[in-house]
Structures are given as structure tokens and as C-alpha cells.
């Protein structure tokens, strides 16, 4: 899984971080080519959060084995910083999947222009 912002599967139009983070998992139309695509968020979220959980468990176990007298506040701040970084990375896991446009939708799009 590569961490990058998604692009339109049809015309490769670039979407900004703010646009992607505001998107819901639904069917949308490209602002550039007006073709339909589907926003897929779940798969990337699951993979990223699983990876973050494994990393946090390993870091916490490592810190406990190195220093048994570690302060709970230090652990909480460390965990919070890793979780914050993961949340900021979430829009980079979103993908767009091309959807076929039906003939009726093509006619409607042509009439709009």
C-alpha cells in the first residue's frame, strides 16, 4: 500500500489533501472529466490502523522492557502522538475506483454542458 493522495482513475486529475479528507465513501463525479468513480476508504483505514496498533504494542513493550519505572504520562503522550500521526495520514490511504457510466447518465451529462 503506497501512501499518496488519490487521483481520478479516468483523467488523473489531482485532488488536494483537504478535498480527500472531506470525502465520504460514495460515488462521485470528477470535477475535471465529469466521469464517475467510487471513493474507497475502508480498506486503507483497516490496514493503517492495524499497522498502528502493532507498532504501538511493540513500542510499549520495548519501553517497558528497557525501563520498568516508565511514567504513564510519557506512554500516553507517545501513544497519542503516534495516533495523531496516523489520523493525519488517513487521507493518503483513500483510493478511487473507476465506475462505468450508463447511457442515461452520459446523456444527462451532455445536456448539462
Would the pTM count as exceeding 0.85?
no
Checking if the pLDDT of 44 tops 80, the result is: yes
Quick: pLDDT tens for 60-108. 999 888 888 888 898 899 999 999 999 999 889 888 988 776 666 666 6
Checking if the pLDDT of 111 tops 80, the result is: no
Checking if the pLDDT of 110 tops 80, the result is: no
- The CB-based long-range contact list for 2-11 (8 Å cut-off, 24+ gap) reads 3/89, 3/92, 3/93, 4/92, 5/91, 5/92, 5/94, 6/94, 6/95, 6/96, 7/96, 8/32, 8/33, 8/35, 8/37, 8/96, 9/37, 9/96, 9/97, 9/98, 10/35, 10/37, 10/98, 11/35
Amino acid at each position: 500500500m503506497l501512501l499518496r493522495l488519490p487521483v481520478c482513475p479516468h483523467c488523473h486529475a489531482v485532488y488536494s489533501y483537504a478535498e480527500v479528507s472531506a470525502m465520504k465513501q460514495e460515488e462521485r463525479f470528477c470535477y475535471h472529466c465529469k466521469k464517475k468513480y467510487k471513493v474507497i476508504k475502508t480498506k486503507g483505514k483497516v490496514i493503517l490502523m492495524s499497522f498502528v496498533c502493532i507498532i504501538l504494542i511493540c513500542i510499549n513493550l520495548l519501553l517497558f522492557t528497557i525501563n520498568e519505572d516508565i511514567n504513564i504520562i510519557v506512554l500516553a503522550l507517545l501513544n497519542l502522538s503516534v495516533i495523531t500521526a496516523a489520523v493525519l495520514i488517513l487521507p493518503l490511504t483513500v483510493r478511487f475506483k473507476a465506475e462505468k457510466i450508463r447511457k442515461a447518465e452520459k446523456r444527462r451529462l451532455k445536456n448539462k454542458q
